[in-house]
Structure 1
């Protein structure tokens, strides 16, 4: 019997495989997902670890000091200079000093949820990523304020995935290290606002002429909107775009609840009103001298980024007078030198092609500034073979797109962009294009207006030493010439103008307040922008006869001479024992007067007398006297010193004269008074430290001699001041250096005129003709409203009425004049009545008192 398998139940169905299959695939997918997640996590960790390498520490932001502008305050408390990095100027303002609407404007413009997120806006990142993938869509980002702080202060502004990842890593760290207010403060104070201004304080001062704490709602919205694209949206560059952006920010402020809708609506239609551009700060040479001094003491980095507060002795009103006096004086000398011709020429067809571009640029400037009409200074068009490239404003935060736009400019557009525009006003100096020349007049196109120059105003323009006979002797059509606007008349009338020229001759002026030795004004040249070399402090030039007061002072101090001692003014060959050379001193006018008094000799600036004096007292004695007065430069120890052959700076001569004015009291000249750091700590402070270096009576007698120079000698023009004054002119060999130094009871000043290359000025240019008008022009303005005061006479001086003919005491029968003497040196004998003694007998009696 064969065995059989058990029979299956008749109702059993076949086993289903669907559930097993689904389960197997689910497990597989879960495994893959787990692996994927693990890989993503591992990848993210790897990316995080990789990009975390070498990242800057965010802890540094806690104590980070933003670079700040160093501000210089003048004697009147005004800010008269600023030193900063080329990237822009910045003054940090504390967050608690800013009103809420200023802070909220930036939140509305850049990051409305700033106080809600933890540094990264993940929804915004995804939204921006999707939007950037859509073809033709406008690219956008999703950077929070914290991310922007990270980018600008810890990383670089490059556009790359690597930089973005590092930014994402650092942002949460910054949020943990700093409070929200600290982050917002860094952002507002760090970001760029265009026109070379970093930080809201400097932006507010520049655009609106007020501190950030005083900004209105509308003004705050303008600045908050500017930071998106500071070179294109700033209100000075494009006020239309600035207004559009402001409206967007205001709308965001209302929508986010940062400002009441009623206040926003009021601001929406208001025009943006910019502050007028302040006038140029006076004293560019003074400011640069202070900068060089600070850099020498603290280093360039501290000066340009340290936010120092510096007090200086400059008085802006007096400095402006000094700047103007030097400018006028040098222009007068330059005109006497003759006309050097046009600054260049330009073909008519080239000018006609450029003119429409220039016109549009002027019209746009007028719309932006709302300050009236402007004209073009065509100096940069004088040579068009290689068009000058406009200087790009490229701060650290300049968007790349803006730089690319400039690359699309045509050569003509680039040339036009290099042309400077100037607001039209009386006294404006620009270069224009000559379009018409007639015998008695010419017309110059300034692009925007036309100026007419009458021939009568250009008769000074000698060419090759010859005076012009008609206008065509001076200019021709196609010339680019400099003009000065004399009178602005309403359009379409022609502007009244005259031919202008930038001097080649240079000069300087230093003014000191003798009571505290403050240098109240200092000018080192005609134009700082053209030549920053400071001739007042950096140059050493021969003082010529302006050094003679120190020779005469030493002679008086020796006790061997009085103001009426006689010295023979006569030609004589002298062997200089100090050099071994024989020479024959000559007077400037080549005339000799025989025996004359010291007073007369200095009044007439007699070289022979100065040489005889220094020969008698020795050069060493003269040098010692000059040193005690304040001359510090090396001086030649030989007889030529009597003619001022040593080289001195204008500043040290002015201060040495101040010692004479102050009756022998010496102190260092003070320009830098105080330096304070950002915390308010005084780093250095200076007060005058007076010392009696010269006998007061001797210094007073020297002043007395120089008063005769002003009243009767080579500086008689000074009598126009109608007050006691003393001074001395100086003219060196071949008229290479010309000086006038002098003082009143209120101010001491020294002026110099010459060429930088030591070329002769010309035989007619002397100390009384070139620098003295500069000195006088300044003094005329500086003394307005001041009472006339005489010099203080110290103890040890006696004044006696003498007979000028004999030098003896004037009796009742002899007319006399007052003369000053050191006590004990005055004459004791009385002059006989007229006719009882001859002048030659007097000189025989008195000649031994002065060789």
Structure 2
């Protein structure tokens, strides 16, 4: 009978091969697969990290540096003032008047935070969960009430980026937001944001918006009004109270409800704010709408400001241009122009300083931009005769000297020979008269004889001394009848010499220009040169008084 013996120590029991070893191999295989997968993931992560790093480095090349970000200034409207400091016009591409955070109503700040980014003072510039949520919801086309962009991101986009909805733009936005949080305090970012964003109807920045919609500075805005303004940020066109009050009130309610949810106002405050009566005062923000002296301003722009400072500084630099204009006189000139049936021009000038006090170049600047005060070369007619008589007195003649008022004829030279025989306006002749009488009664024949006696070139020389720069002044006898083509501004300068004892003034329209920082860029003072002797100027002035009092003047 066979006996089974126990296995001896040290000797393994014999089993069919593979039955006990298979589980170990299986675990080993799974472990290897896990390690390989982990290695692959780590490798993929490393590759992705390198790719992201290279991508971020690549898109960061054209982003502003920290120095550029610190030096950045928002577009600020330049303002033209009259001689008393009253605004005449605002020049801008974006009508903006920056204010400090302490000049902004706390209700505006709270309402903006509630509507756009309630955790602004807690996050570091971006909210990853919000970005992810917005990304998912955009993929599913469900949209979001409150996007993934923080206030810092919105500011970065508005200051340095486009509005394109691309992954690259979003990545740049995130990079800039992180940088801005490192460079600026939260309050400074909030201040920049409120001064930068667009509120609709041409209003850039919260202070301009407050004045546009409510006719008051941002410091005086109430809770009810602040909810309206904060609601505009998401879509100014859709929520404008001036064009769609129903949408605006619905958005206002959303902002007020958010303030209540956050615990920043009570239910009573919310209800009172929603039911409060809103008084809107639409203040125009287009350049052409806010311009009390369009012909004067246009002349300054194209002849002084733009050639000297360039469009960027003029329209975006926040300059202060203090002019010589007198708004009251300007308004009077505008009304006087309204009474004319035909087109015309008016120039008001201080004869002692040359300061232009009023300028109107036509009936309606919106209809015709042509400035007849400075661009229209027209024949002055008998208005040129004082220049002729001034030249005669400079040559030694006296008002009491006699000249003949009788028919006179001159033979023209050329292929078509003819006779030029100037006549008086009434067709009558008075015989021998004094020069004073001839000017008072505007006798043409005497003026022609006077030029023939003194010399046309001498007349032209005196005209130049009196500030007439027009190239259309013929050096011939026809000057007696005012055949020269001269602008009203030149005539104002010439006649100023008679009132200013012979001193010819240079037209002055700008007194001072300051930069957006308040630095004085230039100051201008009156300039006058001797155009006539004081005796001649006083003589002609006295005769012109008689022209109005007893002659043909009006």
Please report the TM-score for the alignment, with normalisation by the length of structure 1. 0.59
**TM-aligned CA deviation for residue 208 of structure 1:** 1.9
Aligned with 1:233: secondary structure?
A: coil
Q: Which consecutive unaligned segments of at least 5 residues does structure 1 have?
A: 331-504, 719-851
Distance between the aligned counterparts of 2:28 and 2:329, measured in 1? 97
**TM-aligned CA deviation for residue 650 of structure 1:** 0.7
Select which of 51, 57, 60 maps to 1:52: 57
Q: Which consecutive unaligned segments of at least 5 residues does structure 2 have?
A: none
Partner of 1:744: none
Structure with greater strand percent? 1
Partner of 2:84: 76
1:624 matches 2:461: yes
Select which of 309, 328, 344 maps to 2:320: 309
CA contact under 8 A between 1:603 and 1:713: conserved in structure 2? yes
Partner of 1:318: 329
CA distance change for structure 1 residues 20 and 687 in 2, over 3 Å: closer, same or farther?
same
1:240 matches 2:246: yes
Aligned alpha-carbon RMSD (Å): 3.0
Distance between the aligned counterparts of 1:119 and 1:288, measured in 2? 44
Distance between the aligned counterparts of 1:267 and 1:598, measured in 2? 80
Distance between the aligned counterparts of 1:197 and 1:284, measured in 2? 21
Structure with greater helix percent? 2
Partner of 1:710: 548
CA contact under 8 A between 1:58 and 1:170: conserved in structure 2? no
Distance between the aligned counterparts of 1:276 and 1:142, measured in 2? 32
Aligned with 1:232: secondary structure?
A: coil
CA deviation map 1:216-259 (0-9, x unaligned)? 33323222211111122122222222222222223323433445
CA contact under 8 A between 1:510 and 1:521: conserved in structure 2? yes
Partner of 1:772: none
Equivalenced residue count is 536
CA contact under 8 A between 1:599 and 1:708: conserved in structure 2? no
Partner of 2:487: 649
CA contact under 8 A between 1:101 and 1:259: conserved in structure 2? no
Partner of 1:574: 410
Partner of 2:503: 665
Distance between the aligned counterparts of 2:347 and 2:56, measured in 1? 60
**TM-aligned CA deviation for residue 277 of structure 1:** 4.0
CA distance change for structure 1 residues 573 and 230 in 2, over 3 Å: closer, same or farther?
same
1:173 matches 2:183: no
Select which of 24, 31, 36 maps to 2:41: 36
**TM-aligned CA deviation for residue 609 of structure 1:** 0.8
Select which of 152, 158, 161 maps to 1:152: 158
CA distance change for structure 1 residues 229 and 516 in 2, over 3 Å: closer, same or farther?
same
CA distance change for structure 1 residues 34 and 216 in 2, over 3 Å: closer, same or farther?
farther
Partner of 1:538: 375
Partner of 2:225: 219
Distance between the aligned counterparts of 2:197 and 2:54, measured in 1? 30
Question: Which protein has greater RCO, CA pairs closer than 8 Å, 6+ apart?
Answer: 2
Select which of 159, 184, 190 maps to 1:184: 190
CA contact under 8 A between 2:496 and 2:505: conserved in structure 1? no
Distance between the aligned counterparts of 1:105 and 1:594, measured in 2? 87
**TM-aligned CA deviation for residue 176 of structure 1:** 2.1
Partner of 1:485: none
Distance between the aligned counterparts of 1:127 and 1:549, measured in 2? 82
CA distance change for structure 1 residues 614 and 186 in 2, over 3 Å: closer, same or farther?
same
Aligned with 1:589: secondary structure?
A: coil
CA distance change for structure 1 residues 257 and 520 in 2, over 3 Å: closer, same or farther?
farther
Hey, which bits of structure 1, 4+ residues long, moved more than 6 A?
A: 8-14
Aligned with 2:322: secondary structure?
A: strand
Distance between the aligned counterparts of 1:266 and 1:128, measured in 2? 33
1:604 matches 2:457: no
Distance between the aligned counterparts of 1:581 and 1:694, measured in 2? 37
Distance between the aligned counterparts of 2:350 and 2:148, measured in 1? 60
CA deviation map 1:498-549 (0-9, x unaligned)? xxxxxxx421111112343321110111211111121111222221110101
**TM-aligned CA deviation for residue 575 of structure 1:** 5.3
**TM-aligned CA deviation for residue 706 of structure 1:** 1.7
**TM-aligned CA deviation for residue 286 of structure 1:** 0.8
CA contact under 8 A between 1:58 and 1:174: conserved in structure 2? no
Alignment of 1:694-705 (within 5 A): 694-705=532-543
1:109 matches 2:119: no
Distance between the aligned counterparts of 1:698 and 1:294, measured in 2? 37
Aligned with 1:329: secondary structure?
A: coil
CA distance change for structure 1 residues 41 and 172 in 2, over 3 Å: closer, same or farther?
farther
Alignment of 1:121-140 (within 5 A): 121-134=127-140
**TM-aligned CA deviation for residue 157 of structure 1:** 0.7
Partner of 2:523: 685
Please report the TM-score for the alignment, with normalisation by the length of structure 2. 0.88
**TM-aligned CA deviation for residue 595 of structure 1:** 1.8
CA contact under 8 A between 2:391 and 2:462: conserved in structure 1? yes
